[in-house]
Structure 1
């Protein structure tokens, strides 16, 4: 009787243990929210033809997520490499609540074989602390990335954006791969690697991640925000107008600023010039294209002479604008021009012939002189008419010749010939900057090129 009870107890114990998972080592897996994760589970050669499956938590019948026969189910897929004796489970579109304990199961006689899997899902973003750096357009900038002393010999890299999950695949440069515009250096003593970016452009503006590879599958990252300061682009023209007549200025701007409010002001400096649009009757603005607008002064006065500025955004926070020097002359001054300026050289009429007693001989000498004088007069009138109807404005330093101008509006040609318009690259200073009162635009000839960093004007 006692023997029978002992045998029954052994059966019960064996049955109970047969229901417990037979586990090996634990697999630690990390994944990013919204991304995929692969979990690889190995098995012994004598289980090659048996059923494999993947389950969660208690791994009961209802906890089985997918089997090898199903291959794909919902967000789960499974493949079995019998040669390597590894089956791989892929979980797609990870959720934060996918974090937990899973089991790789292999069916066999008696208790199944299990491998425990610990999955942790984190957000695909970085980081709580962001380092701010600045660089100048056309120059270079260095991004410094710290790392732990135990990571001296691992792969390091830098990518654009804020998503760690794809950073290595999108790396601009790695510790084992150099590029033309990016240079990698590693100071192991200070445990800092540096990425230097050359020939900065405005497109380099944005977020960067420094990555340090980790054996855990979850790399270490630090975040950097790069600001690229733009050079000012200033187009300049010198034009001449006539008192009592209209004159039109053309002002260019980037197409993306078309809908911004425009400004047109007068003064020695951009940051303290006087707004002229307060008088819409005299100053009329018209949008000519997506990258150009015009301002017309309807009736010039002598006091309108001076320096003008026009461009997008009434607050003048943008750096693409036009600078115009207007000269105003009286109608009398505009019509007084030497013939040598227009024709280069005028031949003087021949001296009159000596007096003759014969009327026929006198007429013979007078008629050619009259015809020659008429021809010269016609040539001069044709040249004069040509100069009165054609507006000549060059880039910087080319002055519009207002001689003989008709009642037509004079314009600078910045919009029609943007390639030919000279421009100045100059440093914009803030209005409250002491340096701005001394160095901005003062004493700068229109043809001078200045390369400096642009700062927003307020």
Structure 2
């Protein structure tokens, strides 16, 4: 409650307009969640994250770079300039309400639901030689048969969307077997830059640009 009062005091002093909205998202125990707030990062302003209803402080950071991590929680600026929330290794006790805000600018309430599904606890390692074709598959819950499948990649200070039905990338392709609840990823003529951690996801909330990350794939590129 102290944090809330401090924030409201700052808000009243600043005289800035304040917009409050709500998000409802679902992730899977053992998986991760990626949520685009739809609101700007604002480099020069403090970012805050609290667990409701106790207003337990998770993050109250004065850093103004593009990537802030505390434990399993990360806030970062995506390519559109929006603040994006990334929560890793979800547990049942992570479910509940959250408040995320940028001081003087905006705040949102986010309600997180965490479900159990054996599909979504897989971390894989794939090794392939330079110039060869890399293959890996990602299993998903039957609840997401009709949801768009997406591949992200962890970069130094961001998580980039690599491939989806509306964003194609040369040498990458996805095929979806809806009967087996598996989509397969193919990367041809791999280069050293293709190595890294890929996140297999599904688009779970089209209003809030929210993605459930169901599998992590560590792709290692070897020289022959």
TM-score normalised to the size of structure 1?
Answer: 0.27
Instruction: Give the Å deviation of 1:229.
Output: 2.2
Match of 2:123 in 1: 130
**Corresponding residue SS for 1:66:** helix
Larger radius of gyration: 1
Distance 1:69 1:171 in 2: 36
Match of 2:28 in 1: none
Match of 1:188 in 2: 178
Instruction: Answer whether contact 1:155 1:175 (CA < 8 A) is retained.
Output: yes
Instruction: Answer whether contact 1:159 1:172 (CA < 8 A) is retained.
Output: yes
Instruction: Answer whether contact 1:162 1:208 (CA < 8 A) is retained.
Output: no
1:166/1:89 CA distance change after superposition, 3 Å: closer
Distance 1:191 1:211 in 2: 13
Instruction: Answer whether contact 1:68 1:79 (CA < 8 A) is retained.
Output: no
Match of 2:212 in 1: 220
Match of 1:66 in 2: 11
Instruction: Answer whether contact 1:182 1:195 (CA < 8 A) is retained.
Output: yes
Distance 1:205 1:62 in 2: 42
Distance 2:7 2:218 in 1: 48
TM-score normalised to the size of structure 2?
Answer: 0.50
Q: Which has the higher contact order (CA 8 A, sep 6+)?
A: 2
Instruction: Give the Å deviation of 1:70.
Output: 1.2
Which of structure 1's runs of 4+ aligned residues deviate more than 6 A? 57-62, 88-91
Match of 1:209 in 2: 199
1:64-83 deviation line (CA, Å, top 9, x unaligned): 45149611xxxxx7369xxx
1:139/1:130 CA distance change after superposition, 3 Å: same
Alignment of 1:19-418 (within 5 A): 64-67=9-12, 70-71=15-16, 78=18, 93-95=46-48, 98-101=50-53, 123-124=73-74, 126-127=88-89, 130-161=123-154, 166-167=158-159, 170-215=160-205, 218-221=210-213, 222-231=215-224
Instruction: Answer whether contact 1:156 1:213 (CA < 8 A) is retained.
Output: yes
Paired residue total: 145
1:101/1:63 CA distance change after superposition, 3 Å: farther
1:276-312 deviation line (CA, Å, top 9, x unaligned): xxxxxxxxxxxxxxxxxxxxxxxxxxxxxxxxxxxxx
Unaligned runs of 5+ in 2: 21-38, 60-71, 75-86, 90-120
Distance 2:127 2:41 in 1: 42
The structure in which a higher percent of residues are helix is: 1
Distance 1:69 1:229 in 2: 54
1:335-393 deviation line (CA, Å, top 9, x unaligned): xxxxxxxxxxxxxxxxxxxxxxxxxxxxxxxxxxxxxxxxxxxxxxxxxxxxxxxxxxx
Aligned Cα root-mean-square deviation (Å)? 4.1
Distance 2:223 2:7 in 1: 61
Distance 1:155 1:68 in 2: 44
